[in-house]
Amino acid sequence: MAWRSSKGCEPLFGDDLQDELDREPIPLSALQHAVYCLRQAALIHLERVWAENRLTAEGRVLHATTDRPGGRSVRGVRRAAAVPLASRRLNMAGVADLVEFHRGDGVETPHPVEFKRGKPKLHRADEVQLCAQGLCLEEMYGVPVPEGSLFYGETRRRVVVPFDAGLRALTEETAAALRAVFTAQATPPPTPKKQRCRACSLAELCRPQAAARPAKAWRSAMIEELLAGAAP
Ligand code: SF4
């Protein structure tokens, strides 16, 4: 199969092909972290730092029960679990927990469903991640995807999320901000919303109070200190 440009239909060769292969897609899951705190997204997805707390552990357990590929129909709605998604336009890729295919007027409309621990939040991180899945599905299937659903483990409620112009714009802005971070390979400063740091599993590693020092520099200094302490 010939690789084709993300901008057009011409087959790619040589340097152009290499450029395309070098465009490592942004993980869809990074968008929710970026809405919460762009620095958190960079620490997890760029610096590969991860620290688990009770909240993240519960989320992981919830996804372990939903991340099994497969398909079936429920009350006439075709459902597919653990669906790989990608958008060349936004250079994003990931996996949807569940995609339902709602049939109407002879057309199947994809409807992404994302499972979350806890309950609906004041910020829009979950909605942005879901909307990004919708944008991928639109590009993959060539049909409008007007909405998706978030299912929350704590409330056992399903919330329908319309992909309106405001949410689409926020999703595209977040993806652009993430692309800029990935391109620059630079971890941004801490979020000014200090209350978010209290629930952040990376607070110990990030040390937002030492904001002037990037996390990489702080970790290097810590390693230097440990090595100095271990020296005879
Ligand atoms: S501790 Fe605060 S600044 Fe650091 S990653 Fe978490 S939310 Fe962002």
Half-sphere exposure of 143 (CA within 13 A, CB side): 14
72 inside domain: yes
59 inside domain: yes
- Cα 196 to ligand 1 centroid, rounded to whole Å: 7
Where does ligand 1 bind, in terms of residues with CB under 6 Å? 37, 39-40, 43, 190-191, 196-197, 200, 202-203, 206, 208
Report the distance separating Cα 113 and Cα 157, nearest Å: 12
40 inside domain: yes
108 inside domain: yes
200 inside domain: no
What integer pLDDT is reported at residue 219 of this predicted model?
63
Q: What is the dihedral of CA 134, 140, 145, 147, to 10 degrees?
A: -20
What integer pLDDT is reported at residue 3 of this predicted model?
40
Report the distance separating Cα 136 and Cα 119, nearest Å: 25
Q: Which residue among 195, 196, 205 has the greatest number of ligand 1 atoms within 8 angstroms of its CB, and so is best to mutate? A: 196
User: Closest residue (by CA) to atom 2 of ligand 1?
Assistant: 197
- Cα 46 to ligand 1 centroid, rounded to whole Å: 15
User: Closest residue (by CA) to atom 1 of ligand 1?
Assistant: 203
Q: Is the dihedral of CA 119, 125, 131, 133 positive or negative?
A: negative
What integer pLDDT is reported at residue 50 of this predicted model?
72
Q: Which residue among 202, 204, 213, 218 has the greatest number of ligand 1 atoms within 8 angstroms of its CB, and so is best to mutate? A: 202
154-162: list long-range contacts, CB under 8 Å, 24+ apart: 154/117, 154/118, 154/119, 155/119, 155/120, 157/119, 158/113, 159/120, 161/127, 161/130, 161/131
Count of structural domains within the chain: 1
What integer pLDDT is reported at residue 217 of this predicted model?
65
What integer pLDDT is reported at residue 68 of this predicted model?
57
Atom number in ligand 1 closest to CA 37: 8
Q: Return the CATH number at 30.
A: 3.90.320.10
26 inside domain: yes
Q: Which residue among 35, 37, 218 has the greatest number of ligand 1 atoms within 8 angstroms of its CB, and so is best to mutate? A: 37
55 inside domain: yes
Range of the domain at 65: 17-187
DSSP line for the chain: ---B-SSSSSB--HHHHHHHHH-PPEETHHHHHHHH-HHHHHHHHTS------HHHHHHHHHHHTT---EEEEETTEEEEEEEEEEETTTTEEEEEEEEEEEEETTEEEEEEEEEESS---SSSHHHHHHHHHHHHHHHHHSS---EEEEEETTTTEEEEEE--HHHHHHHHHHHHHHHHHHHHT-PPPPPS-THHHHT-TTHHHH-GGGTTS-HHHHHHHHHHHHHHHH--
CA 37 vs CA 34, 41, 90, 132, 199: distances in Å: 5, 7, 20, 17, 12
- Cα 131 to ligand 1 centroid, rounded to whole Å: 24
Q: Mind listing the pLDDT tens digit of every residue in the chain (232 residues)?
A: 344 444 444 444 556 545 554 567 899 999 999 999 999 999 998 888 876 555 565 566 555 555 555 667 777 789 999 999 999 999 999 999 999 999 888 889 999 999 998 888 888 999 999 999 999 999 999 999 999 999 998 888 999 999 999 999 999 999 999 999 988 888 999 999 888 999 898 898 888 876 545 556 656 666 666 666 655 5
